[in-house]
Amino acid sequence: MKLTLFLATIAVASAVNCPADTVYDNIMNRCYEFVISGVGFQQAQEYCLSRSGILVSIHNGTENFYLAESGKQQFSGNKNYWIGLSNIPGKWSWTDGSSLTYTSWSANEPGNSTNVCAYSNTVTASWTHANCENVLPFICSYDANPTTPQAPTTTHGPKCPSDQTYNLATDSCYYVGTSAGFWSAESMCVALGGHLTSIHSSAENLFVMGLTSIGGTRKADEMTWIGLHYTGKDWIWSDGTEVTYRNWEPGMPSDVKSDQCVELLQDDYSKKKNVKGTWNNQPCNWNMRKFVCKVKTLW
């Protein structure tokens, strides 16, 4: 079975021991193996178990989007890949026995079929049921075993408060707020010691999108303020960092006026199932939106 190594944008080999031919993701604290040789669901599960792993289970949007984005590069022309979800013998469950707390089903899925298995898609990050004998690539997931560290000279607590999420790649904490206009949201972020989030890479864009995904529903009205806004001359981030990455919705920005701010879209306007994470401009205080703050770490 041919295995191919994908060099993730976030890898901390010095901090953990991962099995050979796997990559480490610090957000999930898991090691992943992207197996490009297509097999049936049962064969995929047996292969992962033979290496002391599991056919991947997915428990939040961040992990789901990370795997789909990684799979785009890893699986080449194959857009679909097995995940460890099946309804054998009639109830949807993960093969590792973990709770089914998050789903990302495509429209009209999972349907009423029994004794079927689930695959995900690298483009949409959505799940579909299929005959378990279908031949697809797959992802194994493994525990990340810490290396033996040298005795620390200083003991630190968590890098972020309990209501924030840490991202090693940016060394920042992220807070998700529920509903505010752009400038009200920015004021709340400043009160936390940060600003509405800036985004400087596709990986960070996926990370922010994962934070604001709710149960995989991705409705078109689930939009999130980020810190980009128009000054009347230029688009700038509210934290003052340079605009080095953009992910505009096709045709955007449009109708640009001085009072224009940017929202991240969980889906496209036509409510199709494909997750995009593209950006749209809107009047800053016209809409109440979720928002994400990027905050400095505690240490």
* DSSP letter (8 states) at residue 273: S
- Is the entire prediction scored with pTM above 0.75? no
**Residue 97 backbone class (left: φ over 0; alpha: ψ -120 to 50; beta: rest):** left
pLDDT of residue 147: 54
Helix (H, G, I), strand (E, B) or coil at 185: helix
Crossing angle of helices 202-212 and 61-74, rounded to 10°: 150
* 3-state SS assignment for residue 188: helix
The confidence score (pLDDT) of residue 182 equals 92
Query: How high is the pLDDT of residue 18?
Result: 86
Domains identified in the chain and CATH numbers? 16-145 (3.10.100.10), 165-296 (3.10.100.10)
Give the rounded distance of the alpha carbon of 296 from its chain centre: 21
Task: Walk along the chain (299 residues) in steps of 10 and give the mean pLDDT of each run.
Answer: 33 61 85 88 86 91 90 84 89 90 92 90 93 92 71 64 84 89 92 94 79 51 86 91 91 82 72 64 84 92
Classified as helix, coil or strand, 210 is helix
> Which pLDDT score, from 0 to 100, does residue 5 have?
31
Supply the pLDDT for residue 1. 34
Cα gap 186→246, rounded to integer Å:
20
